[in-house]
Amino acid sequence: MNRYSIQEFVEKTEQQDKGQGLFELETERLLEINLNGQIWTKAGAMVSYRGQIKYEREGILEHGLGKMFKKALTGEGTALMKATGAGKLYVADQGKKISIINLQGESIFVNGNDLLAFEPSITWDIKMMRKIAGMLSGGLFNVRLEGRGMLAITSHYEPLTLIVKPGDPVYTDPNATVAWSGGLTPEFVTDISLKTLFGRGSGESIQMKFEGEGFVVVQPFEEVYYSQTTSG
């Protein structure tokens, strides 16, 4: 067990500027945002801040009636907070590992629960996986992000990226799937014979099948989602 004097502890854990720009990994589980303008973060993700920053929940019509309607249907947890101002903002999500992605005109799908923060220059839209709604706890939805700018995603432990090639589909557990490239459209398949291979929760015989050309990101953890509209 490590023991430190107060001075040693402060020196070991003190925040340090690494000069990495807008998004900076202060640790692998804590994101520093060097804010000068505006940023979107997952609601409840703010850990600390310094400077003149105004932090407010997204307005009900902030992103248009269509997105509000989708959110009402999904009952999901991608509620966003808008941070505006100048200073340093620190965000995290339950100690999950953070990865920073710099989009340069590409698109990516991210599981709604794994999206931590993104620049306002990126356009986004909620995509509900209707065929699987109700089959998993709280259903399953994702966010499509496209454009130029940085975004931060989270995963339980280290993420693994699998390359999808034509004629060589990749199958994943929905509860362990974090993100995938914008050109892929997953298909949901059920196979009772694979029940003992995929998952240990409800809907365990359901897999996501990725075909074509691109990539899919998985985590070594099965995350169970609960709809905000679910009671009990």
In a domain, 4, yes or no: no
- Render pLDDT for 107-147 as a digit per residue (tens, 0 to 9): 999 998 899 999 999 999 887 765 555 555 444 678 899 99
Q: What is the CATH number of the domain that holds 89?
A: 3.60.160.10
CB atoms within 10 A of CB 22: 17
In a domain, 133, yes or no: yes
In a domain, 99, yes or no: yes
Domain that holds residue 128: 20-218
Record the pTM: 0.81
In a domain, 40, yes or no: yes
By DSSP bridging, strand 187-190 and strand 206-210 are antiparallel
Eight-class DSSP state of 201: S
Residue 206 neighbours by CB under 8 Å, 6+ apart:
132, 135, 136, 174, 188, 189, 190, 198, 199
In a domain, 6, yes or no: no
- Render pLDDT for 168-223 as a digit per residue (tens, 0 to 9): 999 999 889 999 999 998 998 887 665 556 555 544 578 899 999 999 999 999 87
Total domains in the fold of the chain: 1
In a domain, 13, yes or no: no
